[in-house]
Every structure is written in structure tokens, then in C-alpha cells.
Structure 1
Amino acid sequence: MSPCASKKRILVIDDSEAIHTDFRRILGPHQRRCQSDIDQLEEALFGSAPARATICDENAFEVDSAYQGQEGLVKIQAAMKAHQPYSLVFLDYRMPPGWNGAETLRRLREVDPSLGVVLCSAYSDYSWGELMREFRDLKLLKELRKPFNSQEVRQLALKLTGQGTSH
């Protein structure tokens, strides 16, 4: 199995296309940063080399999208059935007209109680205290306020998927 095949899978459940784009930019594979002049010239003359051009960013994630809670639940169920579960979910509090973040979280916990979830919002429809009383597990549930910082998102993802322990 190649190192790229073991990427951690993250599901973003949010009704905003821009948020999904941001998460992909922050968590997805990064382009090769240090291509030498000779590599650039070779690529310009002959095109990219087949095997050598494939680079795996070991801290990159496979990021998937759902735009409503119901769609997210279906994706999580399908991923579990296919034995390719998600490692983490970034979940919006507000996603009209469907389930809100708290209802989506209740449904996700019924399907996968051990799934890490980061609740994201600029609003506070629920107090963090209320959510903690209901869901209780601080290791599997975190909060992220919008607008969020790219570094904070990346650090949360690394930590909650177990990739941040060796750094």
C-alpha cells in the first residue's frame, strides 16, 4: 500500500460552498513547493514524469463534502459500510432548511459514537455548555468559531485524527 493510500478521511458538512473550498485548500494535498529549475525545464520540454511527479503529502487529508446534515449522515453510513470510515467531521451549526448542527450530531453519534466532530459556527444557537451536557466527550467534540484561522483548522485536524502526535 502506498503512503498516499492511508490518508485520513475528513467530511465537511456545511451549506456554504465557500467553506468547503476553504477546507480543501487548508487540508488537501499541497502542490510540490521546491521544484528545482532543472525539474521545471524538464517538465516544460517533456511534460511531467509519470512516477516521479506523484508526491504524497503525508499530512494531507482526503476531504469530502456534504451540504446538509441528512446528506452527511448518508455519506458516513456509506463510508462505514465500505470499510472506509471518516476520521473527522467539521460540522456547521446552521444549515437551513435541514437539520441544524446539534440534530446532525445526535444522528451521527447514533451511527458512529467514536467519530471526532468539530462544530463550526459564527453563531451560538446553543451554548457550548448545553452541548457538552448532552454529548459529554471532550476528546471527540471540539468547537471552532468562524471566521476560522487556517492554522487552527489544520492543527485540530492533525490532533483529532492522531497525525499531530509525532510533531
Structure 2
Amino acid sequence: MSALEERNRRVLVIDDNVEIHRYLREILEGGAEDAEFDAMDAALFGTGAGPIAMRFDVTSVYRGEDGIEAARRAREEGAPFSLAFVDVRMPAGIDGVETLERIWGEDPEMQAVICTAHAEVSWNRILARLGAPQRFLVLKKPFDAVEVRQMACALTEKWLQEANLRQGEARTRAMLIAVPDAMLRVSTEGRCEDLRAVGAPQLELDDMLPGQAAVAAREAVASVLAGGPTEVFEVEREDLGRLYEARVARAGEGDALLLLRDVTDRRRAELAAAQRQLHEETIAAQAEMMLALSTPLLPIHEDVVVMPLVGALDSRRVEKVREVLIQGVADRGVSIAILDMTGVPSLDAELVDEIVATARAIRLLGAESVLTGLGSGVARTLVEQGADLGGIRIHRDLGAGVAYALRARGGRAARS
């Protein structure tokens, strides 16, 4: 289907004269002569050589009342007329001006050509009754065929463009309504128009925003209209308990676009997330502190340290034991490191291997490893696992281990 065929070319002719109907149909629908010329053009130049004359679908009625009914029915059926040729004077019934007034009550988008053979019917009189001069033209009888066809082409095309514009505006309005933001057009004087509400009255900025926010909005509008960048600020509505982000951007020479987005829920979520993160970080720091307190490294001599362990051990705590012991031995130049297990009731097989590996790591640093206070449960696990304790000194309790360390260091601790 061509672009011309897609256009609404339905024309309503309202006139009491049968000859006028015949003449307009011949001009608008095209007769045999037009068809012959179209065929000759196609034969000589090809089917796509030039434009095909626009032809119209003409409906004829002879009284104003019938024209009103035809316009109403066509619109209800979804096939409205784009154009009406209306005679001013029709002896039977209402005149053409009243007919057109009432047609526009049924179909305000229809374009019109007012036809008259009476010089006394002036433009001013017609305009006074109809208004809206952009929707009609006046055609004097007798008609010129070119003038008739030119008016029909121009006004049906105008109807199409306005229909496309209305559809575009409807789509834009639907998108604006779907967006959960307030969108205002603001003039330099601070007058606001709600772009989401058709026909809404204009308000002042002071009516839309609380005191300081209205002042900030006025300053932002002045700034962007002076060529400045988009302005962003926050608006708090304490009466509603809501927080809004306001964006002001230039929309034209004398107005700006103000977008108000409710960010209350987002800010609350951000605050809750920040509070959760802080809580988690606090818990982690406390856990780290407790872990450090649960693995103390106590010096009993300048090169002898003791780490007493109390309570159940897990992999994280054993890892901390290894880290503190190795770091302490390396930093202090320790010769003997005592790991006291008196307060540990039991160990699983995996942790036994970790403890033994820690003791061997101490030896690799040049220090002697001493294990003390091994309870029956821990000792049983060591035996069942076949743990290799070679090179690791074992003592029954911490006292025995400390005594050994002091003797090994030549009694220097006792003398100091």
C-alpha cells in the first residue's frame, strides 16, 4: 500500500444542489479521463515514473442534519471524514455554518471548506460564528477544479499531520504518566505547568514546593536559562515525610524543565544498607579482637614466650594461633615457644595436623617448640592420627614446660 493510499481521503459533501455533488465527485474521485492519463503515463514512463493523482472517497448528503449524522456515525465506526465541503445556504434545514458548528461538536478534528456563491456572506461573519480559522477555508462559487483539488489535498494532508501529532502527543503523555516522577515546565516568572496532567491549571512554584525549596528552584531556573548546566538539589517535604531529588534543565528560550523524583525509599534503603555494613564491620572487628584475645602471646623471658589456649578450637582460631606464634617468634627473636593446651578439651583430626604443623613451622624459624597440658582427649587424637611429634618437646603441664625453658636458658629468668 502506497503512502497516499494510507492517508484518510474520506470527504463529506453537504450541499442541496445535485449538480454541485456531481461536479465535486468528478473533481475529487477522478473520472475516465484521469484514468486514461494515468495509464498513458505508466505505459510511457513506467509505473514509478511520477506521482499518481490523489483521488478521494466522497460521501454526499443534501441537508445539514444528515451531514451531522454522517459525521457522528463515521467517527463512531472509527472511519472519520478528514474533510467536509459545506454549502453556506441550504434552504431545507439548518445553514452551512450551523451545520459545521455541530459537526465539530461530533468530530472536532475534521477540516472544512465552506462553499458560497453569495458575496454578502463575509469572512468576518463566518469567523465570528465559527472561530478556529485554522480549520476551514472559504471557496467561492463557481468552483475552479484545480482550486478544489488543491484545497482537498492540502486539508486532508493537514488532517493527517494533526492526527499523527495527536498520536505522538498521546504516546508521550502515556510515557510521562507511566514515569513515577513529577515533570513541570517552569517559566522565568516561576509559573508551573504539570506536563503529566492535560489541561491542569498553572501554579506558582511557591504553591508546588516548600519555602527554601521554591527559592532553590527559582535560582536553578534562572541559572539554566542563563546558559548554566543542569542543576540538582534535594527537596524535603516534612509534611509528607518524603525526600525528592530535583533536576532543572533548560527546555526552551523562556522556560525550564523541573523533574521531581521521589528518592525516599532509595535513601532509606541506602541508609539501611550502610547501617548493616557498619554493623557487620563492627561485629567483624569485635570478632577479630576476641580472636586476638583468645590467642595471647605472653613473654616470660626475653626470648621465651607462652601462648595459653582455653576453650574449643576451630580452624579459624588455629589459623590465628599459627599467625600470632610465627609472627611473634620472628619479631622477638624467640628461642623457645610454649603452646599450652591445658584449657583445650579436645581436638579433631584436622586440627591436630594444624597444631603439629604450627609447631614445626616454629622450628623452621630456629626456635624450639614445646607443647604442654595435653589432656586425655587431645592425646588420644594425637595417637589415633599417628601424629609425628619428633623434634617437639612435650611436658605434662605449663609449670613443667616453663621450668624446662628457664633451665634451658641457664636460669637467666630467675636471676633477673
With 149-158 and 102-111 compared, the bigger mean Cα shift is at 102-111
For structure 1, list consecutive stretches of 5 or more residues without a partner in the other structure.
40-56
Q: Contact conserved, 2:8 with 2:156, CA < 8 A, in 1?
A: no
CA distance in 2, matches of 1:20, 1:93: 14
Partner of 1:32: 36
Deviation at 1:7, TM superposition (A): 4.9
2:133 counterpart SS class: coil
Is 1:157 the counterpart of 2:152 in the alignment?
Answer: yes
1:127 to 98, 116, 122: 122
Deviation at 1:102, TM superposition (A): 1.4
1:95 to 65, 90, 99: 90
Is 1:16 the counterpart of 2:12 in the alignment?
Answer: no
Partner of 2:243: none
Q: One-letter code of the match for 2:106? A: V
1:12 counterpart SS class: strand
Partner of 1:138: 133
State the structure with bigger RCO (CA 8 A, min sep 6), 1 or 2.
1
Q: Contact conserved, 2:9 with 2:56, CA < 8 A, in 1?
A: yes
Q: How does 1:82-121 map to 2 (within 5 A)?
A: 82-121=77-116
Q: Contact conserved, 1:7 with 1:60, CA < 8 A, in 2?
A: no
Q: One-letter code of the match for 1:152? A: E
Partner of 1:73: 68
CA distance in 1, matches of 2:18, 2:95: 17
Greater strand fraction, Structure 1 or Structure 2: 2
1:33 counterpart SS class: helix
CA distance in 2, matches of 1:58, 1:126: 33
Deviation at 1:134, TM superposition (A): 2.7
Alpha carbons of structure 1 residues 139 and 97: separation in structure 2 relative to 1, 3 Å:
same
Deviation at 1:109, TM superposition (A): 1.6
2:79 counterpart SS class: coil
Number of equivalenced pairs: 146
Deviation at 1:127, TM superposition (A): 2.4
> Which runs of 4 or more aligned residues in structure 1 lie more than 6 Å from their structure 2 counterparts after TM superposition?
none
Q: One-letter code of the match for 1:22? A: Y
Greater helix fraction, Structure 1 or Structure 2: 2
Deviation at 1:136, TM superposition (A): 2.0
Deviation at 1:156, TM superposition (A): 0.5
Deviation at 1:31, TM superposition (A): 1.6
Q: One-letter code of the match for 1:105? A: L
Alpha carbons of structure 1 residues 34 and 94: separation in structure 2 relative to 1, 3 Å:
closer
Given the two structures, how large is their TM-score scaled by the length of structure 2? 0.33
CA distance in 1, matches of 2:71, 2:60: 11
CA distance in 2, matches of 1:159, 1:80: 21
Q: Contact conserved, 2:15 with 2:87, CA < 8 A, in 1?
A: yes
Deviation at 1:35, TM superposition (A): 4.0
- Deviations 1:125-164, CA, capped at 9 Å, x for gaps: 542102212322222111000001110000011111117x
CA distance in 2, matches of 1:33, 1:102: 38
CA distance in 2, matches of 1:146, 1:89: 16
Q: One-letter code of the match for 1:31? A: A
Deviation at 1:113, TM superposition (A): 1.7
